[in-house]
């Protein structure tokens, strides 16, 4: 049986080991969300505290697994930018702190089923020392299995992953007939797509996205949300925005971010005109992204999450839209853990929450 250890040199809260991004890139499932660029953005935007954890076989400086995670306030995004939100977050960060992460852990070598329990056990130990109240739902998209460690809660989620390595003719054939028809229809209707090339263009696009979000009742977090992605990812990793136009007006947009050959989508928006007139701007964008990703030499495009068991017509429509682009369906766990034994305040709040209804927002 192998023995693992956590090197003291990587237990610093805020500074990553010098080879951190190289280690992330060495994984076939490398993700932007485990890089120092992601950490820098969340420090800049939200004031999160990053922590870098590596798991090693004894006397081996190269890790077998790693995890970038953060200390934050309970329900941070709910209160962020609310009136007096800064004061509330300062109090919650002190009284009800949480851990969270995105994408990890990354297993660089070995069997995830045997390695991940050791890594998460160390996270739990540190949570107890810091009196962490809750390890918030965190997506484990990088290990290739829908695995749940003992003692953790799990929610199963899913995505579609498009292999970008075949030639363009094959990529086109891999699309479902409905996707090819929509792309051709958009082209016949005069829809065009181009990438944003400057921060000024991104700001102009943000106003369009905010209008779309308001119409659909979606919350936006301000231009800083977009600007910090441009600042930390555009030159160091991948961050691009593709915009569809019809007769000179924006009708749809989609963001793309990623690292080390793997890209994913975020923030799809569509104007009321595009929806009402069925202009298929999103379809043309998707095909342009697939072609662009292939030409840039990226290996894979992740079409972001879908509910494996759609509960509403909207969720069913999202899944139907994403499954037509030739991707492979993959399920993964979202794990979390209440640690109320560390934090009596959270334990009391959860008891009241269960009695009176939804007071806390997760």
pLDDT digits (tens, 9 = 90+) for 210-243: 999 999 888 898 999 999 999 999 999 999 999 9
Q: What is the CATH number of domain 4-158+333-356?
A: 3.40.630.30
pLDDT on residue 60:
83
Q: Omega before 105 cis (within 30°)?
A: yes
The span from the CA of 335 to the CA of 218, in Å, is: 25
CATH topology of domain 165-298: Aminopeptidase (3.40.630)
Mean pLDDT, the chain, whole residue set: 89
CA 318 to mean position of chain CA atoms: 17
- Over the stretch 310-357, which tens digit does the pLDDT of each residue have? 989 988 999 999 999 999 999 999 999 988 676 666 666 666 555 555
The CA radius of gyration of the chain, in Å to the nearest whole number, is 21
pLDDT on residue 3:
53
- Over the stretch 121-171, which tens digit does the pLDDT of each residue have? 999 999 999 989 889 988 888 877 778 888 899 999 999 999 999 999 999
The span from the CA of 271 to the CA of 252, in Å, is: 6
The span from the CA of 341 to the CA of 339, in Å, is: 5
pLDDT of residue 284 exceeding 80: yes
Domain coordinates of the chain in residue numbers?
4-158+333-356, 165-298
pLDDT of residue 266 exceeding 70: yes
- Among 176, 120, 92, CA closest to 349: 92
The model carries a pTM of 0.89
- Over the stretch 88-132, which tens digit does the pLDDT of each residue have? 888 888 888 999 999 889 999 888 888 888 899 999 999 999 989
The span from the CA of 32 to the CA of 24, in Å, is: 9
User: 1: pLDDT confidence band, cut at 50, 70 and 90?
Assistant: very low
Question: How many Cβ atoms are within 10 Å of 112's Cβ, its own excluded?
Answer: 18
Span of 45-49, 79-83, 133-137, 324-328 with lowest mean pLDDT = 79-83
CATH topology identical between 4-158+333-356 and 165-298? yes
**Average pLDDT in the 45-53 region?**
94
Q: Is 185 helix (H, G, I), strand (E, B) or coil?
A: helix
């Amino acid at each position: 049986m192998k023995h693992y250890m956590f090197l003291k040199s990587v237990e610093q809260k805020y500074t990553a080991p010098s080879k951190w991004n190289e280690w992330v890139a060495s994984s076939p499932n490398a993700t932007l969300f485990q890089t120092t660029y992601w950490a820098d953005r969340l420090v800049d935007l939200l004031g999160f505290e990053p922590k870098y954890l590596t798991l090693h076989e004894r006397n081996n400086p190269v890790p077998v697994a790693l995890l970038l995670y953060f200390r934050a306030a309970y329900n941070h995004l709910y209160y962020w930018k609310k009136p007096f939100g800064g004061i509330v977050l300062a109090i919650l960060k002190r009284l009800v702190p949480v851990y969270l992460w995105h994408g990890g852990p990354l297993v660089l070598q070995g069997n995830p089923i045997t390695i991940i329990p050791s890594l998460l056990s160390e996270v739990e130990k540190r949570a107890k020392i810091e009196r962490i109240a809750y390890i918030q739902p965190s997506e484990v998209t990088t290990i290739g299995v829908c695995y749940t460690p003992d003692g953790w809660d799990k929610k199963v989620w899913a995505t579609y992953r498009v292999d970008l390595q075949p030639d363009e003719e094959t990529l086109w054939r891999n699309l479902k007939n409905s996707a090819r028809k929509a792309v051709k229809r958009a082209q016949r209707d005069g829809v065009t797509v181009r990438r944003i090339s400057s921060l000024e263009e991104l700001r102009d696009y943000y106003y369009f996205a905010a209008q779309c979000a308001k119409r659909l009742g979606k919350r936006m977090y301000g231009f800083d949300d977009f600007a910090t992605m441009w600042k930390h990812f555009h030159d160091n990793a991948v961050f691009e925005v593709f915009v569809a136009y019809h007769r000179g007006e924006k009708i749809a947009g989609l963001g793309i971010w990623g690292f080390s050959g793997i890209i994913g989508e975020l923030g799809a928006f569509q104007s009321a005109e595009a929806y009402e007139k069925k202009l298929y701007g999103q379809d043309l964008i998707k095909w342009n992204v697939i072609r662009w990703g292939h030409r840039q030499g990226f290996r894979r495009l992740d079409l972001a999450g879908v509910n494996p068991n759609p509960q509403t017509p909207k969720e069913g429509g999202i899944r139907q839209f994403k499954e037509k682009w030739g991707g492979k369906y993959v399920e993964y766990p979202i794990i979390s853990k209440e640690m109320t034994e560390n934090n009596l305040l959270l334990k009391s709040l959860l008891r009241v929450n269960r009695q009176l209804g939804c007071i806390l927002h997760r």
